[in-house]
Protein backbone atom coordinates (compact mmCIF):
# COMPACT_ATOMS: atom_id res chain seq x y z
CA UNK A 1 0.00 0.00 0.00
CA UNK A 2 1.32 3.42 -0.95
CA UNK A 3 1.53 5.62 2.13
CA UNK A 4 2.29 9.26 2.98
CA UNK A 5 5.68 9.66 4.65
CA UNK A 6 6.35 13.07 6.20
CA UNK A 7 10.07 13.38 6.92
CA UNK A 8 11.94 15.74 9.23
CA UNK A 9 15.19 17.32 8.03
CA UNK A 10 17.64 18.51 10.73
CA UNK A 11 19.26 15.61 12.61
CA UNK A 12 17.09 13.17 10.69
CA UNK A 13 18.51 13.58 7.18
CA UNK A 14 21.64 15.56 7.99
CA UNK A 15 23.69 16.61 11.01
CA UNK A 16 22.63 19.88 12.57
CA UNK A 17 22.75 20.21 16.35
CA UNK A 18 26.41 19.22 16.62
CA UNK A 19 27.37 22.52 14.97
CA UNK A 20 25.28 24.50 17.46
CA UNK A 21 26.98 22.60 20.28
CA UNK A 22 30.41 23.49 18.93
CA UNK A 23 29.41 27.14 18.66
CA UNK A 24 28.23 27.04 22.27
CA UNK A 25 31.54 25.52 23.39
CA UNK A 26 33.39 28.38 21.67
CA UNK A 27 30.99 30.83 23.32
CA UNK A 28 31.88 29.37 26.73
CA UNK A 29 35.56 29.94 26.04
CA UNK A 30 34.94 33.51 24.90
CA UNK A 31 32.69 34.35 27.85
CA UNK A 32 35.25 32.87 30.25
CA UNK A 33 32.97 33.25 33.26
CA UNK A 34 34.75 33.11 36.61
CA UNK A 35 32.13 31.13 38.53
CA UNK A 36 29.43 29.69 36.26
CA UNK A 37 29.88 26.19 34.90
CA UNK A 38 29.02 25.51 31.23
CA UNK A 39 25.76 23.82 32.22
CA UNK A 40 24.78 26.90 34.24
CA UNK A 41 25.47 29.16 31.27
CA UNK A 42 23.48 26.72 29.14
CA UNK A 43 20.53 27.06 31.53
CA UNK A 44 20.57 30.85 31.05
CA UNK A 45 20.74 30.43 27.27
CA UNK A 46 17.85 27.94 27.42
CA UNK A 47 15.73 30.49 29.22
CA UNK A 48 16.47 33.09 26.55
CA UNK A 49 15.83 30.64 23.71
CA UNK A 50 12.50 29.46 25.09
CA UNK A 51 11.27 33.06 25.05
CA UNK A 52 12.81 34.18 21.76
CA UNK A 53 11.93 31.06 19.77
CA UNK A 54 8.24 31.84 20.17
CA UNK A 55 8.77 35.16 18.39
CA UNK A 56 11.77 34.66 16.13
CA UNK A 57 11.75 30.91 15.50
CA UNK A 58 14.83 28.77 15.01
CA UNK A 59 18.03 28.67 12.97
CA UNK A 60 21.55 30.04 13.18
CA UNK A 61 20.53 33.71 12.89
CA UNK A 62 18.19 33.43 15.83
CA UNK A 63 20.78 31.41 17.74
CA UNK A 64 23.23 34.28 17.20
CA UNK A 65 20.71 36.71 18.70
CA UNK A 66 20.25 34.42 21.70
CA UNK A 67 23.99 34.09 22.26
CA UNK A 68 24.37 37.87 22.12
CA UNK A 69 21.68 38.38 24.75
CA UNK A 70 23.20 35.67 26.92
CA UNK A 71 26.58 37.36 26.69
CA UNK A 72 25.18 40.76 27.61
CA UNK A 73 23.49 39.21 30.65
CA UNK A 74 26.48 37.23 31.95
CA UNK A 75 29.62 39.05 30.86
CA UNK A 76 31.81 40.16 33.77
CA UNK A 77 33.86 42.72 31.88
CA UNK A 78 33.14 45.83 29.88
CA UNK A 79 31.70 44.93 26.48
CA UNK A 80 34.13 45.84 23.71
CA UNK A 81 33.05 46.94 20.20
CA UNK A 82 34.17 43.64 18.66
CA UNK A 83 32.57 41.37 21.27
CA UNK A 84 29.10 41.05 19.75
CA UNK A 85 30.39 40.67 16.15
CA UNK A 86 32.69 37.91 17.43
CA UNK A 87 29.73 36.10 19.00
CA UNK A 88 27.63 36.52 15.86
CA UNK A 89 30.44 34.97 13.85
CA UNK A 90 30.29 31.85 16.03
CA UNK A 91 26.72 31.27 14.87
CA UNK A 92 27.35 32.27 11.27
CA UNK A 93 29.88 29.45 10.96
CA UNK A 94 27.04 26.98 11.47
CA UNK A 95 25.37 27.66 8.14
CA UNK A 96 28.74 27.88 6.38
CA UNK A 97 29.78 24.39 7.52
CA UNK A 98 29.63 21.71 4.79
CA UNK A 99 26.40 19.72 5.01
CA UNK A 100 26.93 16.22 6.39
CA UNK A 101 24.27 13.68 5.42
CA UNK A 102 23.48 10.99 7.95
CA UNK A 103 24.63 7.53 6.92
CA UNK A 104 22.19 5.62 4.73
CA UNK A 105 19.87 8.55 4.05
CA UNK A 106 20.19 9.02 0.24
CA UNK A 107 19.71 5.37 -0.69
CA UNK A 108 16.90 4.95 1.84
CA UNK A 109 15.05 7.99 0.51
CA UNK A 110 15.47 6.70 -3.04
CA UNK A 111 13.88 3.41 -2.00
CA UNK A 112 11.05 5.04 -0.03
CA UNK A 113 10.24 7.50 -2.83
CA UNK A 114 9.75 4.60 -5.24
CA UNK A 115 7.10 3.06 -2.99
CA UNK A 116 5.44 5.98 -1.17
CA UNK A 117 4.64 9.70 -1.36
CA UNK A 118 7.24 11.75 0.53
CA UNK A 119 6.85 15.20 2.08
CA UNK A 120 9.74 17.10 3.67
CA UNK A 121 8.50 18.93 6.75
CA UNK A 122 10.92 21.13 8.67
CA UNK A 123 10.94 24.17 10.93
CA UNK A 124 13.33 27.08 11.03
CA UNK A 125 14.32 30.14 9.04
CA UNK A 126 12.90 29.59 5.51
CA UNK A 127 15.96 30.81 3.58
CA UNK A 128 18.35 28.84 5.78
CA UNK A 129 16.32 25.65 5.48
CA UNK A 130 15.96 26.03 1.71
CA UNK A 131 19.72 26.46 1.44
CA UNK A 132 20.32 23.24 3.35
CA UNK A 133 17.79 21.36 1.23
CA UNK A 134 19.50 22.59 -1.95
CA UNK A 135 22.95 21.69 -0.65
CA UNK A 136 21.77 18.23 0.40
CA UNK A 137 20.50 17.41 -3.12
CA UNK A 138 17.75 15.37 -1.46
CA UNK A 139 14.85 17.49 -2.70
CA UNK A 140 14.38 15.26 -5.73
CA UNK A 141 12.91 12.55 -3.52
CA UNK A 142 10.09 14.72 -2.14
CA UNK A 143 6.86 15.59 -3.87
CA UNK A 144 6.25 18.47 -1.49
CA UNK A 145 8.29 20.55 0.95
CA UNK A 146 6.90 22.65 3.82
CA UNK A 147 8.89 24.93 6.14
CA UNK A 148 7.01 26.17 9.19
CA UNK A 149 7.78 28.32 12.22
CA UNK A 150 6.78 25.59 14.69
CA UNK A 151 5.92 21.91 14.31
CA UNK A 152 2.97 21.35 16.60
CA UNK A 153 -0.28 19.41 16.33
CA UNK A 154 -2.02 22.25 14.50
CA UNK A 155 0.72 22.51 11.87
CA UNK A 156 0.48 18.77 11.22
CA UNK A 157 -3.29 18.97 10.94
CA UNK A 158 -2.98 21.86 8.49
CA UNK A 159 -0.45 19.95 6.37
CA UNK A 160 -2.61 16.84 6.25
CA UNK A 161 -5.67 18.87 5.27
CA UNK A 162 -3.78 20.84 2.61
CA UNK A 163 -2.26 17.73 1.02
CA UNK A 164 -5.44 15.63 1.41
CA UNK A 165 -3.61 12.90 3.33
CA UNK A 166 -5.49 10.05 4.98
CA UNK A 167 -4.26 9.95 8.62
CA UNK A 168 -4.29 6.16 8.88
CA UNK A 169 -1.73 5.83 6.07
CA UNK A 170 0.32 8.88 7.02
CA UNK A 171 3.54 8.68 9.05
CA UNK A 172 5.78 11.37 10.50
CA UNK A 173 9.44 10.33 10.61
CA UNK A 174 11.92 12.22 12.77
CA UNK A 175 14.39 12.39 15.65
CA UNK A 176 12.54 14.81 17.93
CA UNK A 177 9.88 13.60 20.37
CA UNK A 178 8.81 17.22 20.92
CA UNK A 179 8.49 18.36 17.30
CA UNK A 180 8.15 15.16 15.26
CA UNK A 181 6.63 12.27 17.15
CA UNK A 182 4.33 13.64 19.84
CA UNK A 183 2.56 16.40 17.85
CA UNK A 184 2.03 14.03 14.92
CA UNK A 185 0.41 11.47 17.21
CA UNK A 186 -1.66 14.26 18.77
CA UNK A 187 -2.88 15.17 15.28
CA UNK A 188 -4.06 11.59 14.72
CA UNK A 189 -1.14 10.45 12.54
CA UNK A 190 1.29 7.59 12.84
CA UNK A 191 4.91 8.31 13.76
CA UNK A 192 8.39 6.83 13.47
CA UNK A 193 11.00 7.81 16.04
CA UNK A 194 14.56 7.74 14.70
CA UNK A 195 16.80 8.53 17.71
CA UNK A 196 19.83 10.76 17.30
CA UNK A 197 22.33 10.83 20.16
CA UNK A 198 22.98 14.57 19.70
CA UNK A 199 19.38 15.74 19.46
CA UNK A 200 18.98 19.26 20.92
CA UNK A 201 18.07 18.80 24.59
CA UNK A 202 15.12 21.21 24.29
CA UNK A 203 13.61 18.81 21.74
CA UNK A 204 13.74 15.86 24.11
CA UNK A 205 10.74 14.68 26.11
CA UNK A 206 8.96 11.43 26.84
CA UNK A 207 7.35 9.73 23.86
CA UNK A 208 3.59 10.12 23.94
CA UNK A 209 0.81 7.86 22.80
CA UNK A 210 -2.00 8.63 20.41
CA UNK A 211 -4.60 7.13 18.14
CA UNK A 212 -1.97 6.33 15.53
CA UNK A 213 0.83 3.77 15.59
CA UNK A 214 4.30 4.49 16.98
CA UNK A 215 7.33 2.77 15.50
CA UNK A 216 10.86 3.09 16.92
CA UNK A 217 13.86 2.25 14.73
CA UNK A 218 17.59 2.38 15.45
CA UNK A 219 18.63 4.27 12.33
CA UNK A 220 17.14 5.89 9.24
CA UNK A 221 18.11 3.03 6.93
CA UNK A 222 15.93 0.68 9.01
CA UNK A 223 12.89 2.31 7.42
CA UNK A 224 13.39 0.08 4.40
CA UNK A 225 12.41 -2.88 6.58
CA UNK A 226 9.06 -1.34 7.49
CA UNK A 227 7.95 0.57 4.39
With b for 16 or more beta-carbon neighbours within 10 A and e for fewer, the 71-81 pattern comes to beeeeeeeeee
Of 178, 124, 194, 184, the residue nearest 160 (C-alpha): 184
pTM for this entry:
0.92
Q: Give the per-residue pLDDT at 92.
A: 87
pLDDT tens digits, residue range 77-136? 999 999 999 999 998 889 888 899 999 999 999 999 999 999 999 999 899 999 999 999
Q: Give the per-residue pLDDT at 56.
A: 84
Handedness of CA 56, 58, 63, 66 (dihedral sign): positive
Domains of the chain in start order, with CATH, are 4-14+100-225 (3.40.50.1000), 17-96 (1.10.150)
Question: What is the percentage of the chain residues whose pLDDT exceeds 90?
Answer: 89
pLDDT tens digits, residue range 9-60? 999 999 999 999 999 999 999 999 999 999 999 999 999 999 998 888 888 8
CB 171 within 8 A of CB 165: no
As a whole number of angstroms, the longest Cα–Cα distance in the chain is 64
Stretch 182-192: mean pLDDT, rounded? 97
Amino acid sequence: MRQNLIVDADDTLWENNIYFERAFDDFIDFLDHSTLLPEEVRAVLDEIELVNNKTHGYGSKNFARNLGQCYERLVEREIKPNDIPTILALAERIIQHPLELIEGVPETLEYLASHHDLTLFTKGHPEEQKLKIDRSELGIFFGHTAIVKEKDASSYAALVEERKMAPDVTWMIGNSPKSDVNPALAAGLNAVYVPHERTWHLEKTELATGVGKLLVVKQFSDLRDHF
